[in-house]
A and B are shown apart, each in its own frame.
Chain A
């Protein structure tokens, strides 16, 4: 299985090129294309209505992720665990106040990452999974999430281990205080918090390994303009910091009028990355909008993956 992420500034043509790649790949392989952008337009590109997941052709499946619903589902699950743990609050009807958690920042990125993880681990028999990502900011945040989280988990687990070690010492000196009292143990499995931290860490490490591994490719889409160049440079820097594999640059919307700028943009980008580059020419058919833009991409995008 191979995983492709199409990233770039808003409006550069990520969705169109992701759809075109999926379409071309689907002629030889089983492909799933997933839109993670809250403003979905895969349905418009394929000219179909996608509600959740749909089968576009024998080998091509299209999926649009409902980010809001995903965040809500995740929070509902967590709020239920909280309400179950603090059952006494139900007596005072205070458990409903946990619902305020839905306003906590960062939940959207987490929901997004969970959705990617679920799709990757589903083992649904797809040879290619293509993710059409939201604009740069949110994409970088959720791609960085596994690494940021692992760093935090490490620090928290260290403190937790120290707490357990010391509690164990106390217990050894004092002995059981009263009948029926359980001994505190320095076994990671007996401490719920450390257990949770350890399981979260192994989960994020394996996800990180997948994202940094050879099966994952990040495709950067950009246009021949300075704004797009600046944002692409930032994205490349960010990907480097996270050790994520940028494999292909797609220079989209090139025409005779902007050839000079296109050369300049490519020259600048070649200074910061050695990833392969493909030019996608702008064609008048795109504007006529007679049919889905999907079929007008003549360049072979499959040869890179």
Chain B
């Protein structure tokens, strides 16, 4: 394939654009994941002893909760390293 300086420059610009965009969004992405985690916790809180909504509500919504459950699981595993994740998101250190 022929090397084109324009393609090369375009790739550089796109990558810079993407990096900036993802930097801008990083905090919001974390926020959304935390919200999904909170949503799952509220709905399925009885697993860890939180007051929970009528259980049929959890049963009704459970089939659509795959992503929330994954996040819940992930959060439980990463619980010890929360500070590192926060520092990473905020770009400290």
Binding site for B on A (CB under 8 A): 74-75, 78, 81-82, 84-86, 101, 104-107, 109-110, 145, 148-149, 152-153, 155-156, 159-160, 162-163, 166-167, 169-170, 173-175, 192-193, 196-197, 200
Contact = CB atoms under 8 A, between A and B. Distances in A.
A197 B61 contact: yes
Interface stretch (B2-10, B30-38, B80-88): B30-38
Nearest to A195: B64
Most chain A CB neighbours (cut-off 10 Å) among B35, B43, B66: B35
Given A155-B42, A163-B36, A170 B29 contact: yes
A147 to B, nearest CB: 11
Nearest to B24: A173
Nearest to A79: B59
Nearest to A74: B56
Contacts of A167: 32
Contact of B55 (A86, A105, A169): A105
A163 B22 contact: no
Nearest to A164: B32
A101 B58 CA distance: 11
Nearest to A166: B32
10 contacts: A78-B63, A86-B66, A101-B59, A104-B55, A106-B56, A167-B32, A170-B28, A173-B24, A196-B60, A196-B64
B25 interface: yes
A149 B53 contact: yes
A83 to B, nearest CB: 9
B59 A78 contact: yes
A205 to B, nearest CB: 15
B65 interface: yes
A173 B57 contact: no
A104 B21 CA distance: 45
Contacts of B35: 159, 162-163, 166
A73 to B, nearest CB: 13
Nearest to A113: B56
Contacts of A86: 63, 66
B62 interface: yes
Contact of B61 (A145, A155, A196): A196
A145 B63 contact: no
A156 to B, nearest CB: 7
Contacts of B56: 74, 106-107, 110
Contacts of A153: 57
A200 to B, nearest CB: 7
Given A81-B63, A156-B42, A196-B64, A106 B54 contact: yes
Contacts of A174: 18, 21-22, 25
Given A145-B54, A174-B22, A159 B63 contact: no
B28 to A, nearest CB: 5
Contacts of A173: 21, 24-25
B25 to A, nearest CB: 5
A262 to B, nearest CB: 39
Given A81-B63, A162-B35, A169-B28, A110 B43 contact: no
A85 B61 CA distance: 11
Contact of B64 (A155, A163, A193): A193
B63 A85 contact: yes
Contact of B57 (A159, A160, A163, A200): A200
Given A169-B28, A174-B21, 14 more contacts: A74-B56, A78-B59, A78-B62, A106-B54, A106-B56, A107-B59, A148-B54, A153-B57, A155-B42, A166-B28, A166-B32, A174-B18, A193-B65, A200-B60
